[in-house]
Amino acid sequence: MTHIDDGFVHVVYFWLKNPGSDNDKNAFFKSLKNYLGKVDVIRSKFIGTPATSERDVVDDSFTYSVILTFKNKEDQDIYQEHPAHLKFIEESSSLWSKVVVYDSLPV
């Protein structure tokens, strides 16, 4: 068993306004992937969609999940203000209705 990361883990769930629209989903994904690729402080990344479940405890209502890891909080702060990240928000925020972020540091 390996460890995912020993740094700062930034997890984001996006709920798109039109989760049934392939156009919206493709536009969001393309924008996200494009801009994430331009931020060199990102150490590792994961972009996902929900694995549906019958279990009550599982929230599978989101449209996209993103897990980014950084060396430390300072690198995540650089990412937050990075022109590519701001451009992604400018370009795609009209597509989503809700965003929830969970930031963690390893125990």
Binding site for a second copy (CB under 8 A): 1-5, 8-9, 11, 13, 29, 36-37, 40, 42-51, 53, 55, 57-60, 62, 64-65, 67, 69, 73, 76, 99-107
CB 10 within 8 A of CB 70: yes
Closest distance of CB 103 from a second copy, Å: 4
Nearest-angstrom CA–CA distance, 88 and 8: 21
CB 49 within 8 A of CB 31: no
Closest distance of CB 97 from a second copy, Å: 13
Closest distance of CB 72 from a second copy, Å: 10
Q: Which residues pair with 92 in a beta bridge?
A: none
With both helix axes pointing from N to C terminus, report the angle between 83-92 and 22-36 in degrees, rounded to the nearest 10.
Answer: 170
Closest distance of CB 76 from a second copy, Å: 8
Beta carbon nearer to a second copy, 59 or 90: 59
Nearest-angstrom CA–CA distance, 13 and 15: 7
